[in-house]
């Protein structure tokens, strides 16, 4: 019966040591959770960058293959027109500020100097 006590004590010490390592040792549960959060953030950033890269790749492909994309860019960014076209610029008037109302004079008797 005495041997069972030693075995039970040894198992309890082993459990305590394993719990200590789990909570406070290297690679503890807090560090693991923090690293998982960092991985999730990095994956989200990577997804956004991948979408941006895909859009840029599609734009490059369109510019290499099609004339319409080049023409559209030349018109919008460089202000170019085709021969024989007429260019019209529409300029809107700047908005005017409403006139400020004149200050209203206080009625007689409401002025602080009029108080006896």
State the DSSP code for 111. Answer: S
pLDDT of res. 47: 97
Residue 111 located in a structural domain: no
**What's the whole-model pTM score?**
0.44
Residue 41 located in a structural domain: yes
pLDDT of res. 113: 56
Residue 16 located in a structural domain: no
Helices (H) and strands (E) in the chain, counts: 3, 0
Residue 70 located in a structural domain: yes
pLDDT of res. 14: 93
Residue 93 located in a structural domain: no
Residue 104 located in a structural domain: no
pLDDT of res. 111: 53
Provide the domain limits for residue 75. Answer: 28-82
Contacts of 81 (CB under 8 A, 6+ apart): 75, 87
Residue 45 located in a structural domain: yes
- Token look-up 């319409």 returns 68
pLDDT of res. 1: 56
> Count of domains in the chain?
1
pLDDT of res. 49: 97
Residue 7 located in a structural domain: no
Contacts 24+ apart (CB under 8 A), 108-114: none
**Which parts of the chain sit beneath pLDDT 50?**
none
């Amino acid at each position: 019966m005495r041997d069972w006590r030693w075995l039970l004590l040894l198992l309890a010490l082993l459990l305590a040591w394993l719990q200590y390592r789990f909570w406070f040792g290297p690679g503890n549960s807090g560090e693991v959770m923090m690293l998982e959060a960092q991985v999730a953030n990095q994956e989200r950033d990577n997804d956004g960058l991948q979408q941006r890269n895909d859009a840029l790749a599609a734009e490059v492909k369109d510019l290499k293959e099609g004339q319409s994309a080049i023409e559209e860019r030349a018109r919008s960014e460089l202000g170019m027109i085709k021969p024989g076209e007429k260019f019209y610029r529409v300029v809107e008037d700047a908005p005017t500020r409403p006139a400020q109302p004149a200050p209203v004079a206080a009625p007689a008797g409401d002025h602080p100097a009029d108080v006896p």
